[in-house]
Structure 1
Amino acid sequence: MDYQYKSINRGEHSIFGQIRKQGVEPENHVFVFNLRSYDRLNKTPAMKKMEDESGVTYQEVQRAQAEEIMSSGVHGGAESSSSDEGESEDDEKEHYSSRKKKFEARRAAAGLRNDQVISEDSVAKNAMLGEKKVSEEKWDENDLEQEKANWVQEELYVHGKLGYHDSELTIIMEDTESLPSMMDGREYQAGHHAATLRRMLWREHLGLLPAQPLDASEDPNAQPPDVCPNHWHEGDEWDKLVTDPLCDDVWNLWTQQATTNTEVFRHLFHADPDDNIRTFEDYQNFLPRNDMKQGHLYNKYMPDEEVKRALDKIRGHLVWMPLHFLENAEMAEKGLAVNYYTESIYT
C-alpha cells in the first residue's frame, strides 16, 4: 500500500508529482476511486439451531458452494504440482460436499425448504439494478439486534492468479471489429471488445447492471465464447448513458454516487482506509473500541431502521480513494514487514 501511494500521489516521482512539475495541479484533473461492498451475515436464530443440531457450520456450507462453483479459484488454479496435492483437493471438496448434504438434510428434517427460509443468504445484490431495497429484506423480527451485528463491509480487490502472476503481465490487443460509439459528444469508432468491456465495468461499478445469480447456467456471459456471444445489454437505457465516457451526465452520476457510498460506509462502518486518518494516532481513534468488530457497524446502538435506510442509498460499489490516508505517517517502517495497526486489515 505504501508503494501504491508513492506511485499515485506521494513524492516527486509519483504521477501527481510529475504532473505538478509541469505546472498543473493534478487534483483538479486526476481522480482515483476504489470499490467497496456490504453484506449481511445470515446468522439467524433458526440458522444457529440448524448448526447446533447438524454439527455443521453455515461457513462450511458456503465453502461447499464455493467448491461447486469455482473450485479452481478456491485452490488457486486447477493445476497441481503433484498427484498427492490433487487428491487432497478432491478429498477436501468431498468433505465440504458431505457437510453441506448433512446441513441440508437437517433443514429438510426441520420442515424448512429453501423457499421458506426467512432471510437471504446474501443481500450484496441489493446494490445492483432492479433489486429490492435493503429496508425491504426480511429478517427474524424477534432479533433485530442480531441483524445489526451481522452487517459487514469490505473493500473489493482484484487478485492475480497465484503461480502465474498474471497481474504483472501485459496483453496488447487490437480490435478487428469496430463499434459505433461517442467520445466527448462526437461520433467515434471504438474497438468492440474495449468499448463493451468498459461499458459493462462502468455499469457494474455504478450499480446499473442486474445482479449475477450463483447459478449462471442461463447466463450467456458465463458460457464459453464458442457457445454464444457475450450479452452486454446493447442499446438499453443504461448502455446509452455510459456510451460516451466523457459525457457530463456520466461524470456527475459517477462522482455523486461515489460520494454517497463513501459517506454511508464511513458513517455506518468507519470503513478504512479513510481520509480522516492522517496519522497512526488518528488511526487508533478511528478504529472500533472494546467489543466492536472491525468491518461491522461502528455504532451498535444505531436503530435498525436507520441502518437500513442508509444502506438503501448505496448503489454499485464506487467509493473515493482516500488519497490523504496516513499521509503524515511512515506507512512502511524500516525493518518491519507490516505495521501493527494495519496487520489485521491489509495482510
Structure 2
Amino acid sequence: MPSSAPTTPTSIELVADGLVLEVVTAGAAVRRLLVTDAEGDTNVALGHADPMTYAADGGYLGATIGRYGNRLSRARFTLDGVEHTITANEGDNALHGGLDGFDRRAWTVQEQGPSHVRLALHSPDGDQGFPGALDVTVTYRVEPDLVRIDYSATVDRATVLSLTNHTYFNLDGEGSGPVDEHDLAVSADAFTPTDAQLLPTGEVRDVTGTPFDLRRPTRLGDALAGDDEQLVHGQGLDHNFVVRGTGLRHVATLRGASGRTLVIESDQPGVQVYTGAHFDGTVVGTSGTAYGPRAGIALETQGFPDAPNHAHFPSTVLRAGETYASTTTWRLTRD
C-alpha cells in the first residue's frame, strides 16, 4: 500500500513566452505560476514557502487530486452491486481521495522538456478502498500565455475516478490579500446545493435569483455578501457548478483588480468554485506572506461531487479497457 512518508520533492520549471510554471513532484502540484507583463513577473498561484511541505501535508495547495476529487458521502459507494468503503478523512466522509490521496504521493517524472512534464503514479487495487489497479499520468504543458493540463488513466477493473487540480489563484499577486475585488463569470445555469457537511443533496438548482448566478462577471465580494443558506454551509463559495455544454469549452473567466484575466476551459461536467475560507494565517506562501481567508480562489474542473451515490449525476465510472482522458487549460492575459 502506498506510503505518505515525506520524500524530498523535485522542482520543475516550465517556460514559455509570458509565463513560468513551477511544478513539484510531491502531489504533482503547481507551486508557482509567474506571469510576465509591464509590471514584471507576478506569481498568481498560491504555494508553500517550503517545498517539503508538499511532501508532508500540502493541504491540497496546487495539487493533483485523486482518485476522487471532492467528497464521497459516508466514505463509500456501490459499483456493480458491490459496496466499497473509502478511508474517511473529513468526519465520516471522504474528501479528495481519502486519507492518503494522490496529493500526498511522490509522482515519477515520466517525460520532461523545456515546456512540458509528464508525471506518473501507480495506484494499486484497494488503494484507500478504491477498486482496481490504476495507472495515471498528468501532463503540464506551457505555451505563450497558456497552461494546458492533460490527465490520462487506465484501470484493470471497474472503479470511479475524478481527477482535478487544486490551484488557488490570486491574479493581483500571491500574498496580495483577499480576492474580493476579483470578478468571476462561470458558464453555468445551475449548481448542486449541499447540506451542512458540504455533501450534494442531489438537487440540481437553477442559479437564477441566487448569489450563484455568475453567468455575467460578478465581483466576488458582492457574491459572498449574498443572503443564502448555501453560503453559510460553505463559509462562502464551495460549490459545484454545472458547466454548460460538452467537450472542451469555456468554464470560467476570472479577472483581478490588476486587469489580469484567467480564462479556464475544460471538458469536465462541473467546476468547484471555492473561495478559500479555511485559510487562517497558518500557511505561509512563497512570498513569505501568511494566507488569510479568501487569499485565493480555486476553480477545480471535475466530475460532480459524490456522483457515484447519485445515479442522475454524470457518471464517473472507469472500466477496464477504457482510457480516462481529460484536458483543462488556463489562458492568462491582461487588459
TM-score w.r.t. length of structure 1: 0.24
Q: Whose helix proportion is higher, 1 or 2? A: 1
Q: Whose strand proportion is higher, 1 or 2? A: 2
Task: Select the structure with the greater relative contact order (CA < 8 A; seq sep ≥ 6).
Answer: 1
